[in-house]
Chain A
Amino acid sequence: MTIVEAARALRTRELTVRGLWDACAAAAHARNPELNAYLEIFPADDSAIESAQKRIDENDPSLLVGIPLAVKDNILIEGKVASAASKMLENYRATYDATVIKKLKDAGALFLGRTNMDEFAMGSSTEHSAFGPTKNPHDTSRVPGGSSGGSAAAVAAHLCIAALGSDTGGSIRQPAALCGIAGLKPTFGSISRSGLIAMGSSLDQIGPLTKTVEDAHILYEAIRGLDALDSTTIPDGLYGAHELPKRLRIGVPRHLLGEGVEAEVLALFDTTLEKLEKEGHALVDIELPASAYALAAYYVIMPAEVSTNLARLDGMRYGHAARGDTLLDDYLLSRTEGFGPETRRRILLGTFVLSSGYIDAYYRKAQAMRSLLRAEYDKAFEKVDAIMTPTAFSVAFKFGEKSDPLSMYLEDIFTVTANLTGMPAISVPMGSVEREGKKLPVGIHFTAPHQAEELLFTIGEAVQRTS
């Protein structure tokens, strides 16, 4: 059931808020032992359910009233544990609501549970969770993608109506693609990150994972906006107004699709292109030469920011606190026991690229590359309205298949550019490929200029209609 369908059923009295909650909670409890999508399924909040029902009875127009949502474990809900799927924060209870949670509470939404993820949002498969991986509902021998894999699996398996995730290099869009749902990474600054456990502060954005593009639009509208608690949030219209032409010009960087993309994924991509062309949209060949270096720049900038952000977790004020003989031992033990291997790897990488002998060769070069990439995209958007690629190389891979870190990092190749440029991007299902008798979904990815989310919703719905 989608947000739109559930909201309608609540209003036609086909369903009560309690009935909807119970149905979602029952489904979550029944299937979670198999999928491990939720780290915790919350008990029913009777007063929230009653007040939502009252709002329905009073014909409240908010479509989110009484809708049970799943929330990624790095977004704070006051009084609930927010562990970022790490031993470090296993027992950390949020002392305040994230701004997005506050907004959703005001809109009448309910929270079903907190979802599994790669530790501190670092990974593309949820295999880096300290609490065991999430399984892909389409084939439980395969990963759901990551890092928002728990949210994606919960939505795809109907263990909630919709979910929130966060996206630093593709962490909403890649799991959305691998689980066959819609996922939006909004413009940097459009949604407050107050109350999001920080990973890469110049890259992180919160966004929706939903069954339809329309639902993503509803959730996005509910959580966006300027926030005094996050100075990186931006006002409407900062990047100027965007026209929404009937006939869209869609840019296709064919040169980026040469290596690595599976033949069946490419075939679906071409079919989708044809369908869009038939719908009256224009396809334009474009070249984005700097994009080839985007992933390299990302794997310098992101770990640099990770090592800085995670320095605050030292076993002193909150989180895992191991004690040794000296204060230095306290730090060393707390951080060594608290962080998993991938987190430690990225902290070390970040420490390396920021160290005095290497900062020019790596970090400053990557920052310069980032400006170049942004200029390249700005230029491309003079000729086209959106840029289209597959979301990932392939269908969901099997557990353990990408055990060396670099091959896992390559999963982000089509998605990181949107984080580096701050531009919005969406992944929408474009069909499926059969593997070992199972249908595995494939996603298509569109990037638009800053604050042109409306365009992504329009084009996403066009794909949804035809696939």
Chain B
Amino acid sequence: MATAEEVKKLAALARIKISDEELETFTREFDAILAYVGQLEKLDLPQGAEHEKPALHNVMREDGEPHATGIYTEKLVEQFPAREGNALSVKQIITHDEPE
């Protein structure tokens, strides 16, 4: 069963913040949902069935004629929260400064 600690860790992994109040609700609901999907454990599956390749698999398209460069650029760049010319502007992550 899920603990509040576990739910907190999952939230961090999923890049989501959860308030303390929500944490309690989420943990409780998680327990109910996991108890329900836990029925799967009762299911008798043929030996090794869990490791069979699923029927669906990824299909890659052959590289073909590309579209002309830049025809979608402006439309896409318009959606950026911040831009510098046609580049997406984000926070600096790597610095050359010595750590404090």
Contacts and interface: CB of A to CB of B under 8 A. Distances in A.
B41 interface: yes
Interface string B12-37: 01111110001000100110111011
Contacts of B80: 317-318
Contacts of B10: 348, 351-352, 355
Given A231-B60, A299-B36, A345-B26, A95 B41 contact: no
Contacts of A367: 50, 54
A263 interface: no
Contacts of A290: 43
Contacts of B5: none
Interface in B42-58: 43, 45-46, 49-52, 54-56, 58
A361 B60 contact: no
A2 interface: no
A321 to B, nearest CB: 3
A437 to B, nearest CB: 35
A33 to B, nearest CB: 30
B15 A348 contact: no
Nearest to A229: B61
Given A316-B90, A331-B15, A347-B16, A369 B43 contact: yes
Contacts of B61: 228, 231
B72 A95 contact: yes
A411 interface: no
A344 interface: yes
B91 interface: yes
B36 A368 contact: no
Contacts of A368: 45, 49-50, 52
Interface size bracket, A side: 35 or more
Interface string B64-100: 0000000010011011111000001011010000000
Contact of B14 (A326, A348, A353, A366): A348
A372 B45 contact: yes
Contacts of B50: 360, 364-365, 367-368
B95 to A, nearest CB: 12
B7 interface: yes
A162 to B, nearest CB: 29
A352 B29 CA distance: 13
B15 A335 contact: yes
Interface string A321-341: 100001110111101100101
Nearest to A372: B45
Interface string A357-375: 0001110111111111010
A78 B38 CA distance: 43
Contacts of B43: 290, 293, 365, 369, 372
Nearest to A289: B43
Contact of B79 (A95, A307, A405): A95
B43 to A, nearest CB: 5
B32 A404 contact: yes
A202 interface: yes
Contacts of B81: 315-316, 318, 321
A371 B13 contact: no
A88 to B, nearest CB: 12
A118 interface: no
A314 B2 CA distance: 26
Most buried by B among A93, A369, A374: A369
A300 B40 contact: yes
B26 A299 contact: no
B17 A332 contact: yes
B29 A404 contact: yes
B15 A332 contact: yes
B6 to A, nearest CB: 8
Given A293-B40, A296-B40, A327 B91 contact: yes
A409 interface: yes
Contacts of A364: 50-51
Contact of A296 (B14, B37, B56): B37
B91 A326 contact: yes
Nearest to A322: B81
A365 B45 contact: yes
A232 interface: yes
A444 B4 CA distance: 42
Contacts of B16: 332, 335-336, 339, 344, 347-348
A35 interface: no
Contacts of B78: 93
Contacts of B82: 321
A371 to B, nearest CB: 6
A122 interface: no
A366 B30 CA distance: 17
B79 A231 contact: no
8 contacts: A318-B79, A333-B17, A344-B26, A348-B30, A365-B40, A365-B50, A369-B45, A371-B55
Question: Which 9 A-B pairs rank lowest in CB-CB distance, beginning with the nearest?
Answer: A321-B81, A318-B79, A368-B49, A231-B59, A364-B50, A95-B75, A336-B17, A331-B15, A296-B37
Given A332-B17, A348-B30, A405-B33, 11 more contacts: A92-B79, A95-B79, A96-B75, A232-B59, A290-B43, A297-B37, A297-B40, A311-B14, A332-B15, A366-B40, A371-B49
